[in-house]
Amino acid sequence: MFTKSADSHLCSGVDTHGILLFRTLIGKVFGSIGSVGGGLALGKEGPLVHTGACIASLLGQGGSTKYHLNSRWFNVFKSDRDRRDLVTCGCAAGVAAAFRAPVGGVLFALEEVTSWWRSQLMWRVFFTSAIVAVVVRTAMGWCKSGKCGHFGSGGFIIWDVSDGQEDYSFAELFPMAIIGVIGGLLGALFNQLTLYITTWRRNHLHKKGNRVKIIEACLVSLLTSVISFGLPLLRKCSPCPEPDPTSGIECPRPPGMYGNYVNFYCSKDNEYNDLATIFFNTQDDAIRNLFSAKTINEYSSQSLLTFLVMFYGLAVVTFGTAVPAGQFVPGIMIGSTYGRLVGMFVVKYYRKLNIEEGTYALLGAASFLGGSMRMTVSLCVIMVEITNNLKLLPLIMLVLLISKAVGDAFNDGIYEEQARLRGIPLLDSKPKYEMRNMIAKEACGSGRVVSFPRVVKVPDVVSILQSNSHNGFPVIDHTRSGEPLVIGLVLRSHLLVILQSKVDFQHSPLPSDPRSGGRSIRHDSGEFAKPVSSKGISLDDIHLTSEDLEMYIDLAPFLNPSPYIVPEDMSLTKVYNLFRQLGLRHLFVVPRPSRVLGLITRKDLLIEDAENVNTLELRATSVRF
């Protein structure tokens, strides 16, 4: 959703190092400029989402200490939850800026980025997307004089098709449903091909070093240039249609301008090359041409089929190279091509004046994105926002549902497939069917639980951290009768901070008592936060003397005293839903409790104000008994 801490991506309990670094941001910005400007078969929308996430992560943690770009004024987000929320806002901002679709950005964050949606997060994301819309609109107004090249030349609506097909008949629903099926099949095939090629790259090609990655990117760029320039040369030019003063479209277009009807090595001045009209345009203008109404017979079926095959192959090969790449725009290009092909058939078969080929191109774009990415709500709203045609909303919903259903019959979405390939254990929206017959204890494994006593010796901490890669450990104390008692959870990162600072070491193996003047926490909460521009503290960075190894640590002040706990015989499906809905990273499994201390109902949580405390207590009592 494309979320999460500064040097690590923290979402749903997953830490992926290096994807939100400052150097990642710089590489993403300049890399996407070069790749999109070079005409590769990729888009800028995906990198913009990543860029928004990087900026949000860096701002939330005060900047980058590694590059001395930090400020305490920004360092206001102390908890991982707040930082994840901020990165979610960054992803929404990226979508809103890329498509100029603020509502689509909000829904994208809801559908793809976060697994725990709250009303507080909703207004934060909505506010961020609204600010993005205002800033983009202001920048476009400033750039109207041509100061910014082609930025903003298409207006705030990127591909405005409001002047397109006004209505549709019931008979057209069948070819529209066919577009949905084609989108599901081609989208599933795209996901599978990119998965095979990416797997081969990771296992063979990219292991040979960064030089091979650079050579590969250059070869792909060369192949794209040869195909983009060579194929239009093989295509014969077509005569320009009769001029229509009301359309505002010239044929051929003036030199140096972007739009319809490109004259590319044509023998006559009043001819154009329809294949060059697609290849020799910016991606936005090429899509605008495919979506355009009142341009029937601008493209031949041979040219559209040739472009579809070539661009589809280039998109598959380009995905996974060492360049920033997004799949929104290539998906729209592919889908609009075969959608326009179907539209040409419908126009020829039904012979109705109100049918527009551009309408079917739009539906084809939505169907391929639905078949590849498997998004529904956010994608539907994005398509409506970028085309400014609310009348097509039911049709977009139809093709999205059909393409997603067809694609799901073969494989998962492209995001899920690539995350699984990279070993990121992201949880699906629903548990597997086999989990219905399993309990929590069966998912714990047969290994011994690694835990700490409340007061632990320093070398024991070092030994456990060296022999285990776990992020959290239970802390066990004993009652007066000698029974073990779980008193909380301590994080690995907190233990490393304690070992490095050494200020909390003590000589006594007994627990410290704050009421008798014992030690209190001598750390600021910011010391336990994940660093911005590094992988954090490691054991190799900690140097302990022989005297330090004789010391003890009381872990009570540093643990989470109330971690989430479930009984051992709880259904694994419920455990799965807890992780998904609450964004958990750890969950304790304990034997079934022997007694109940009380019962909390929904009404017990309705604490209104101090004046109604007595009434509230009576009401709660009446509910319990």
**Cα 32 to Cα 44: distance, rounded to the nearest angstrom:** 6
Task: Kindly indicate the confidence band of residue 513, based on its pLDDT and cuts at 50, 70 and 90.
Answer: low
Inter-helix orientation angle 377-387/393-408, to 10°: 140
Task: Kindly indicate the confidence band of residue 531, based on its pLDDT and cuts at 50, 70 and 90.
Answer: low
Tokens at 593, concatenated: 């409790």
pLDDT > 90 fraction of the chain, expressed in percent and rounded: 32
**Cα 120 to Cα 90: distance, rounded to the nearest angstrom:** 15
Write down the pLDDT at residue 515: 54
Of 193 and 116, more confident: 193
Reported as a single tens digit per residue, the pLDDT across 51-73 is 998 888 888 776 666 666 666 65
Strand segments (E) across 163-277: 238-239, 271-272
Write down the pLDDT at residue 153: 59
pLDDT > 70 fraction of the chain, expressed in percent and rounded: 82
Check pLDDT > 90 for residue 222: yes
Cβ contact 107:377 at 8 Å:
yes
Strand segments (E) across 367-507: 452-453, 455-457, 472-478, 484-491, 505-506
Rg (CA), the chain: 29
Query: What's the whole-number average pLDDT of the chain?
Result: 82
Check pLDDT > 60 for residue 451: yes
Task: Kindly indicate the confidence band of residue 458, based on its pLDDT and cuts at 50, 70 and 90.
Answer: very high
**Cα 222 to Cα 165: distance, rounded to the nearest angstrom:** 39
Reported as a single tens digit per residue, the pLDDT across 282-336 is 888 888 888 887 667 778 889 999 999 999 999 999 998 889 988 898 999 999 9
Query: Quick one: average pLDDT of 30-47?
Result: 88
Query: Quick one: average pLDDT of 549-568?
Result: 91
Tokens at 581, concatenated: 């809905």
Cβ contact 500:537 at 8 Å:
yes
Write down the pLDDT at residue 624: 39
Largest CA distance in the chain: 100
Residue 129, burial from CB neighbour count under 10 angstroms (0-12, 13-18, 19+): buried
Q: H-type helices in 61-172, by residue range?
A: 80-99, 102-108, 119-142
Q: What are phi and psi of 122, to 5 degrees?
A: -60, -50
Cβ contact 1:111 at 8 Å:
yes
**Cα 75 to Cα 61: distance, rounded to the nearest angstrom:** 5
Tokens at 29, concatenated: 């910005």
Give the residues across from 10 on adjacent strands: 15
Reported as a single tens digit per residue, the pLDDT across 164-208 is 677 778 888 999 999 999 999 999 999 999 999 999 998 888 888
Task: Kindly indicate the confidence band of residue 514, based on its pLDDT and cuts at 50, 70 and 90.
Answer: low
Highest mean pLDDT among 18-22, 51-55, 509-513: 51-55
